[in-house]
A and B are shown apart, each in its own frame.
Chain A
């Protein structure tokens, strides 16, 4: 039973355009959400996070939006660059799982075309 779902396994975007990666969750008790980025042969690295008390968090080219009523979050990358090509995982924590246990999605492979 996947509590965190990334329904798009892959996404291709032209350099300079916006990339939008989506994530849905089922557990309304989750209160903290994160995005991790993973390059081949490396471990995931933290990208950006958002608490459930906010609906938007921005860090440079990266913005995460949270829609609690829809149990949906998205990551926007503007403008997209070839170096952004990687697998992106969303993760959630909170509720009975606790603060320290992250539940990850299956990932979305982003390819930014030059």
Chain B
């Protein structure tokens, strides 16, 4: 398996623009997670899905952030409008629901909002 795939790997945009980050989880995994990494707060969970349904979005910072999972093999995280403080590395992770399983992370998308 190719692992969790994220695109783009790097994104530079201007304040006010819409940003869409994409994730393809590992095939067969029924949980998908979106994280944001910053120096100050480390790895923060933004939202997670189970069987394509959002379960907990309490970590989504503002209404400017939205996430969707239209099917088992694709998810998006959208920021509209983007702000400089959104600059961070965004990770997607997936796992199966089996006991003792862990989360597998993608390589991340480094976002810079100017």
Contact = CB atoms under 8 A, between A and B. Distances in A.
A6 B50 CA distance: 29
B42 A89 contact: yes
Given A43-B4, A43-B93, A44-B91, A104 B44 contact: yes
Nearest to A97: B56
A100 B108 contact: no
Interface in B88-110: 91, 93, 95, 97, 102-108
B43 interface: yes
Contacts of A43: 4, 91, 93, 105-108
Nearest to A43: B105
Given A49-B102, A100-B95, A42 B43 contact: no
Contacts of A89: 42-43
B48 A44 contact: no
A46 B103 contact: yes
Classify the secondary structure of A's interface with B.
loop
Contacts, number: 50
Contact of A101 (B39, B48, B97): B48
Interface residues of B, number: 25
A45 B4 CA distance: 12
Interface in B24-62: 31, 35, 39-45, 48, 50, 55-56
B48 A41 contact: no
Nearest to B100: A49
6 contacts: A42-B107, A43-B4, A46-B103, A102-B103, A104-B35, A107-B42
Interchain residue pairs A-B with the least CB separation, the first 6: A43-B105, A106-B42, A104-B43, A46-B102, A44-B105, A43-B107
Given A46-B102, A100-B95, A107-B43, 5 more contacts: A43-B105, A101-B56, A104-B43, A104-B44, A106-B41
